[in-house]
Amino acid sequence: MDKQTKIIILIGGGVLVLSWFRKPKATVTTSEGFDLSAYGGAVSYPQPIKTFAIAIARQEGFYVRDSIPARAHNPGDLKIEGKPTLPGSSITQFANDDEGWNALYRQLWIIVTGSSSRYNLDMSIEEMARTWTATQQNEWASNVAMFAGATPDMKLWQVLT
């Protein structure tokens, strides 16, 4: 085998390895059907994801004492199929706040990685609101944007990356 053929094979192998690791493999556990942690998903999430998660938590009422999200330890007010719900609601109940925050971070992380079946980075916060919440979608978008230091028409790639 000549030197040029070896180089082509080496580069091709490198491209295959990069493409394998670039797209996370996932199992069903979140509302989007993905849990990236077992496949190298972010353990320490980037600050834009944390900031946006806090904005969502503020809008969802997580910081209001005795609210449904606070009692369910669910800052994103997530509904995850197959997980226990807070009695009398359809909201997933987590064991503690850390578990709830990690679920919200994961949800936003799968949007960033392009693994979401419902959201993409080209959506605006207003467009995200139409899927995230069934009520007060304009208010949700305005408040989340304000808390995140953005505007409702900003694209998710501008606030999450």
Residue extents of the structural domains in the chain: 27-160
Q: What's the start-to-end Cα distance of the chain, in Å? A: 44
Q: Which residue has the higher pLDDT, 30 or 53?
A: 53
CA distances in angstroms from 73 to 4, 11, 76, 99, listed in the order given: 58, 48, 9, 8
pLDDT digits 0-9 by tens, 44-93: 889 999 999 999 999 999 999 999 999 999 999 999 988 999 999 999 99
CA angle 48, 49, 54 (to 5 degrees): 100
pTM of the predicted protein model: 0.74
pLDDT of residue 37: 55
